[in-house]
Amino acid sequence: MSATAAIWSGPAGREGADRFERRAATREAPWVKWTLLGVSLSFFAVFLLLPLVAVFAEALRKGWATYWLALVEPDALSAVKLTLLAAVIAVPLNLSFGVAAAWAIAKFEFRGKQLLTTFIDLPFSVSPVVAGLIYVLVFGAQGWLGPWLSDHDVKIIFAVPGIVLATVFVTFPFVARELIPLMQAQGKEEEEAAVVLGANGWQTFWHVTLPNIKWGLLYGVILCNARAMGEFGAVSVVSGHIRGLTNTMPLHVEILYNEYQFAAAFAVASLLALLALVTLAVKTWVEHQASRANHELPPESPHPVSTS
């Protein structure tokens, strides 16, 4: 994913661009620069900024009172709760899985490593609707495990567990994808040094590995969380749209919209938009911290190189 590249390019990248532009030999004609800037800025305004403004404008069209009522309505509140619950379960699960997978892939050699790396990407490459259908096929009333589950009175599809499962599935790769390149670049030398100095596995992880990956990890968690709260497709398939029970925020927005309650729909949507803005702000801050940490690395050996 390109996110890692963005994280680690920080100030050095900017300096490079600066020099590139100042030198007559590498400078492009002004019209190239301004055309590129114009195209990207107008694209940004029309496709990104305008919708964002529209969300908040529509939400507040009928005044703050309506806005507030739409948010504290019981169905809306239960949707918010369910969304938070799904995120609270999915993010820690994928956090621990992501760290474990990245650790295994970056620091060990084993058979099937390539296969594991490919499989981690599966949720990215498969359509969320298909992801949801997979769970319906396995756990649904007519699914493989359906009869057994209903015998034991366990409800997964059209219930909260299904929503959590679908959320876990679609947010699976974020943390691992973020950490693998980072850990591979950092190599194993510091861990080896820790082990030689007598540290056990847990001490090595806690005192050496974790501090080195913390910014990348936080970045992955932020993205994972944003997706967990915003997921629509997979959750929609397994949810059953039972108001007050199995509706997450994105699903709630859809229902309100289909019922022509535009102000209420946009009010809930504005919460999601707000979440996105907060995510972006935190992400920028993390990037800043990471690039600062990166900047402090020794200039002659930014990454310890492992030798044979």
Partner 1 sequence: MSIQVRNIHKAFGSFIALDDVSLDFPTGELVALLGPSGCGKTTLLRVIAGLESADRGSVLLEGEDASATHVRERQVGFVFQHYALFRHMTVFDNVAFGLRMKPRAQRPSEAQIRGKVHDLLKLVQLDWLADRFPSQLSGGQRQRIALARALAVEPRVLLLDEPFGALDAKVRKELRRWLRNLHDELHITSIFVTHDQEEALEVADRVVLMDHGKVEQIGTPEEVYRHPATPFVYGFLGAVNFFHGRVEGEALRVGDDRLPHSGGGIDHGTEVVAFARPHELEIVTDPTEVDGVAARISRILAFGVTARVELEGANGAAGQHFEVELTRDRVAKLGLMEGQGVRLVPSRLRVFERGALGRRAEVA
Residues interacting with partner 1, by CB under 8 A?
A: 189-190, 192-200, 203, 207-208, 211-212, 293, 296-298, 300-301, 304-305, 307-308
For partner 1, which is the closer residue by CB, 24 or 305?
Answer: 305
Q: How far is the CB of 279 from partner 1 (least distance, A)?
A: 26
Q: How far is the CB of 207 from partner 1 (least distance, A)?
A: 7
Residues 6+ apart with CB under 8 A from 218: 286
For partner 1, which is the closer residue by CB, 51 or 211?
Answer: 211
Q: How far is the CB of 92 from partner 1 (least distance, A)?
A: 24
Q: How far is the CB of 216 from partner 1 (least distance, A)?
A: 13
Q: How far apart are CA 78 and CA 71, in angstroms?
A: 10
Q: How far is the CB of 28 from partner 1 (least distance, A)?
A: 35
Q: How far is the CB of 97 from partner 1 (least distance, A)?
A: 24
Q: How far apart are CA 215 and CA 252, in angstroms?
A: 33
For partner 1, which is the closer residue by CB, 61 or 295?
Answer: 295
For partner 1, which is the closer residue by CB, 151 or 296?
Answer: 296
Q: How far apart are CA 23 and CA 32, in angstroms?
A: 16
| CA 177 to each of CA 132, 141, 202, 241, 284: distance values in angstroms, whole numbers, following the listed order | 22, 34, 22, 32, 19
**Cβ atoms 165, 149 nearer than 8 A:** no
For partner 1, which is the closer residue by CB, 16 or 211?
Answer: 211
Run of H or E including 68: helix 63-72
For partner 1, which is the closer residue by CB, 258 or 308?
Answer: 308
Q: How far apart are CA 224 and CA 93, in angstroms?
A: 11
